[in-house]
Structure 1
Amino acid sequence: MPSPDRSRARREEMLVQLRELFLAEGFASFGIGDLAERLRCSRTTLYSVAPSKEQIVVAAVRSFFKSAAERIEARVAAADDPARQLAIYLEAVAAELQAASAAFFADVAGFAPAGEVYRENTQYAARRVQELVAKGVRAGVLRPVHASFVGAAVAEVMGSIQRGAIQAATGLDAAQAYRHLADLVLTSLAGGPADQDQITPPRRQGRGSAEPL
């Protein structure tokens, strides 16, 4: 019997392969047999990830957002300037989503449990932007804006991107839309000293089960 450490390592390896396949081709058209054939593994190995295809999909989608969040936050932490941290965060989100195909986003939109994972991460990302805006205003490197309003506005746009409304209206895919959102936010907030009386600290919210984007 494999050791627990080896089993965990094998599961992580499978998740990496699954998310790469799903990002490239989506997941709705694959059955367990198809996945086993494409990944050259047994059904038993796939079921070590989760006990059903639906749960395997959710695990892979969650794994994608979790690994993306870790890379994004590592890049943010490497910058000292709060304005640069905001720029890095928004640009890195767009870069991470660039790997996802239209088929992946369509399948996420059509499968409620995967869509919920995406929605949770979108909500977290909006809160993270709010935190970074407030930090930049306090440091005097961003214009003195109402951070909670910016966070709420960004959340609305991110939600529209996630639901496909932005693509329907503009033809932009998710990664392209996030890049334009980054340009809009950064351009509108650049420059000007902070007025501490205008700063409203972001309301703390629990993350729940969300994995940060």
Structure 2
Amino acid sequence: MDDTIGFGTRRRDDLFNRLLTLLLAEGFAQLGVADLATRLRCSKSTLYTLAGSKEQLVVATVTQFFRTTTTQVESAVAGAVTARDRVITYLVAVGDALAPASEAFMTDLHAFGPTRELYERNTAAAALRVQGLISEGVAAGEFRDVDAAFAADMAASMMSRIQRREVAATTGLDDASAYRQLASILTVGIAAADE
């Protein structure tokens, strides 16, 4: 019986992963449940076992995306030694995690209220995480005594612009490059005087 439960969970996870890959590549506004079922080679009723409507399916998939990217980002940060490395690693890892998201996905994400709220909550959580990393660096003497909340708010503002593709439009930088630039500028700006 345990094998059956494990198999069902693996099938469900596989379907969510394939759905996420499709949505990241093409967005979701223009795809109906029948389109999704056809593209994923499953029945509509199979998709409805994941969620009761297309909207709920999209929200569940986007929630899974953010959950997975958070785990990936935190995994990357766990290996960083210094406060500067942690901030840089965090921001670069966020950019890397978002790299598979197409313009269509990001447009749809912002246009649909529930997914926009998920994005905003995740950006707020990321800002708090950056604030914590900066505070740790200030306490350790690696960063000069800056207002960590302000530095994190500044980072969050840029993160929002990057994710809305505004930075790409004005600078030509892809998301990962923009996050690297943000990490570099932010950490140099708050570095302790003796660095």
Q: TM-score, normalised by structure 2?
A: 0.88
Give the distance between the partners of 2:87 and 2:158, measured in 1 at CA.
17
* Number of residue pairs matched by the alignment: 194
Please tell me whether the aligned partners of residues 92 and 180 of structure 2 are also in contact (alpha carbons under 8 angstroms): yes
Alignment of 1:19-58 (within 5 A): 19-58=20-59
Displacement of 1:166:
4.0
User: Which segment is superposed worse, 29-38 or 167-176?
Assistant: 167-176
Displacement of 1:190:
2.7
Give the distance between the partners of 1:131 and 1:8, measured in 2 at CA.
35
- Hey, what does 1:158 align to over in structure 2? 159
- Hey, what does 2:92 align to over in structure 1? 91
Q: TM-score, normalised by structure 1?
A: 0.82
Identity of paired residues, percent? 44
Three-state SS of the structure 2 residue aligned to 1:177 is helix
- Hey, what does 2:137 align to over in structure 1? 136
Give the distance between the partners of 1:170 and 1:86, measured in 2 at CA.
23
- Hey, what does 2:103 align to over in structure 1? 102
Please tell me whether the aligned partners of residues 92 and 176 of structure 2 are also in contact (alpha carbons under 8 angstroms): no
Instruction: State the one-letter code of the partner of 1:152.
Output: D
Three-state SS of the structure 2 residue aligned to 1:51 is coil
Instruction: State the one-letter code of the partner of 1:187.
Output: V
- Structure with higher helix content: 2
- Hey, what does 1:121 align to over in structure 2? 122
Unmatched 5+ stretches in structure 2: none
Instruction: State the one-letter code of the partner of 2:178.
Output: A
Instruction: State the one-letter code of the partner of 2:44.
Output: R
Three-state SS of the structure 2 residue aligned to 1:48 is helix
Displacement of 1:68:
0.8
User: Which segment is superposed worse, 122-131 or 168-177?
Assistant: 168-177
User: Which segment is superposed worse, 85-94 or 172-181?
Assistant: 172-181
How has the CA–CA distance of structure 1 residues 110 and 172 changed in structure 2, closer, same or farther, with 3 Å as cutoff?
farther
Please tell me whether the aligned partners of residues 141 and 192 of structure 1 are also in contact (alpha carbons under 8 angstroms): no
Three-state SS of the structure 1 residue aligned to 2:50 is coil
1:147 and 2:138 matched? no
Please tell me whether the aligned partners of residues 126 and 151 of structure 1 are also in contact (alpha carbons under 8 angstroms): yes
- Hey, what does 1:207 align to over in structure 2? none
Superposed CA RMSD in Å reads 2.3
1:32-74 residue CA offsets vs partner (Å, 9 max, x unmatched)? 1111111111112111111100111111111111111101101
